[in-house]
Structure 1
């Protein structure tokens, strides 16, 4: 136990683990050869997502439509903003092995740094949050995804808001929106803090800057065309699968074929209800649970959520559990999340179990759904007691 405790309170050791995971996943993908993403389909590099991000920069400077399939070059659509494509040029010009490694390392380091920037949280608790996220971190960097970066930027937004550093908070939040649009849900955090005028104009400033950045390399007509094309892609994307989401859970478990829009509207309504408890805005645990709710909400109500997306939700789960006084029911839910959300896609579960039960019944999403319901209930009616520093209860 002493060795575990020494590890948990050693930021350098944990950073080394995060760095090693990112580097290992990068080299594994780079040397992974070719594979098809659909049965009998064209072969692409194992690190196809990185290739999509990389080529988006070159498509941008060549005045191409970023949102065409480009199936001769990549195995899926580019779905991020034109601004993301431009900024990714910093990595795109590098050799693949270096750019891929730096991309995954950036994701891991931003997430690591954001947890250490959390206010009113002792170093051991931060170590526990890190350990809880390790497997999901490996999953997302093995897929070269931006989800660890998204989670880190949302945590940084909270940390800066708590310290009233509104320029940095709005920069982080606007960055998430220009990576994946669901970052816009983080705007709900602004309701919890004073000086909303400053939050408004700082956010507007960064939004304008990020929107206009592509004009550095494209003309006005191409600029307008790209944003219209992006909007069209996102609109069409709404008709695709329900992913590892509440919508698919309702279908596979209960046979309820409910329109995704209705499910999302219900989710927004339930999410917003706790925000009516304005007097609780002064309570740090309440604000932390709102952040946890956001981190889980943007995954379980995302019709495109996949396994690699759950680093964001698991970050919310860890923050939820380790930010408040431990309880038996919360501990049980935490264990369920670790076993069925984090471990269910791994080889610890036999392949036939994964294929016959875990995937068809979206088991990965279920603990996060239950925890989000519990968070919402507690935000509406619970008492908010911060976790004692150095607490070892129910870990």
Structure 2
């Protein structure tokens, strides 16, 4: 009996770690999410892939000189909240039939996350697989809503990959694109500070590419129209700031403790805690420390985002996966944190979780966010106190987190 179970377990492990398994799973999730949402019936006057329709329509609103940042309820539900540049870049999808465009959009999100994690040189191949498996269901949730979160996670991680490979121009491009999709990508720019010999080139590339991307819509609209779009975007974002607490630290403080601090104050405290590890200059040389700060970025942009929704958590869960890859001993408190992320963050929105528990506890008490908040707090303590120097497990084994010679150079 034990031999049979052992053999079965070995086969499952081989399947999970086979190089073709994850690409097949991510492809399957992309197709399933697209087909189900496209064919799913709805009693509403809008489609079940309304977010994609919003992105698609923004491209045409830009071309037609319409204000992108007001409600267009005849065409779509809800506001467009991204940049004019993103609206232009949606053009290749917008000109396609809806099903093909939606499939391509979801495929881009899945491919961006998969590619970026697989390219990350500071963790080994098994750790990359853990990150991708952990993020898979959250990616499905994001794609079922035709959201951009897989793409944003991929761009942020891709920026870190480029910095590790001493390519500051490419890093600036990926991180800037994340900003033009979702503004919270700005937080990821802190990563360049970990690479002293790349700082000047990164800043120069960022300024040049940032101006170029901001002005890119000028290829289809006159300057006055583009300026008006940016002004309207600013007004919409200012009005949107006070709309909700979301699945965030603010929502947790409100629902658990009845504490309603100003959002700006909470964000400033979070930002101060986030930046404190940057004072540990001697740790910059260690790949594990840089990976930890990347994980902190992915967690912070979600748990301190007052507009965070369930589909946003693919970004945070990728950060959880990176945090887990840094745990040398896998102690029970860390394992408990990981299991709570799987149970409450990943599984609670799915049909695998009892509906009555979801309605009675998970939603009212923002339990989807709480494990990620605790992981962020745990990670912050580690970044402030732990020595991230690589440890050799034997006399002949090289450290998995050894710093590449080129990673800190120009």
TM-score of the superposed pair, with normalisation by structure 2 = 0.91
Q: Distance in 2 between matches of 1:187 and 1:35?
A: 43
1:175-228 deviation digits (Å, cap 9, x = unpaired) = 000000000000110110022110101111210111010101110110110111
Structure 2 counterpart of 1:5, from 13, 18, 28: 13
| Cα deviation, residue 124, structure 1 | 2.2
| Cα deviation, residue 390, structure 1 | 12
Other-structure match for 1:22: 30
Q: Distance in 1 between matches of 2:329 and 2:81?
A: 40
In terms of mean alpha carbon deviation, does 8-17 or 167-176 score higher? 8-17
Other-structure match for 1:334: 338
In terms of mean alpha carbon deviation, does 116-125 or 208-217 score higher? 116-125
Other-structure match for 1:224: 227
Other-structure match for 1:39: none
| Cα deviation, residue 120, structure 1 | 3.6
SS in 2 for 1:134: helix
Structure 1 counterpart of 2:348, from 327, 344, 347: 344
**8 Å Cα contact 1:324/1:385 also seen in 2:** no
Other-structure match for 1:381: 385
Aligned pairs for 1:236-315 within 5 A: 236-315=239-318
SS in 2 for 1:29: helix
Other-structure match for 1:33: 41
SS in 2 for 1:11: coil
Other-structure match for 2:56: 54
In terms of mean alpha carbon deviation, does 47-56 or 339-348 score higher? 339-348
How many residue pairs get matched?
A: 385
| Cα deviation, residue 127, structure 1 | 1.5
**8 Å Cα contact 1:324/1:384 also seen in 2:** no
Q: Distance in 2 between matches of 1:192 and 1:344?
A: 36
Aligned pairs for 1:64-143 within 5 A: 64-143=66-145
Aligned pairs for 1:165-244 within 5 A: 165-194=167-196, 195-244=198-247
Other-structure match for 2:408: none
Q: Distance in 1 between matches of 2:307 and 2:390?
A: 34
Other-structure match for 1:148: 150
Q: Distance in 2 between matches of 1:305 and 1:299?
A: 6
| Cα deviation, residue 166, structure 1 | 1.1
**Structure 2 residue ranges without an equivalent (≥5):** 1-8, 400-410
Q: Distance in 2 between matches of 1:59 and 1:75?
A: 15
**8 Å Cα contact 1:153/1:176 also seen in 2:** yes
| Cα deviation, residue 386, structure 1 | 5.4
SS in 1 for 2:20: helix
Q: Distance in 2 between matches of 1:130 and 1:111?
A: 8
Q: Distance in 2 between matches of 1:35 and 1:17?
A: 31
Superposed CA RMSD in Å reads 1.6
Q: Distance in 2 between matches of 1:225 and 1:327?
A: 53
SS in 2 for 1:318: helix
**Structure 1 residue ranges without an equivalent (≥5):** 37-42
Q: Distance in 2 between matches of 1:21 and 1:205?
A: 37
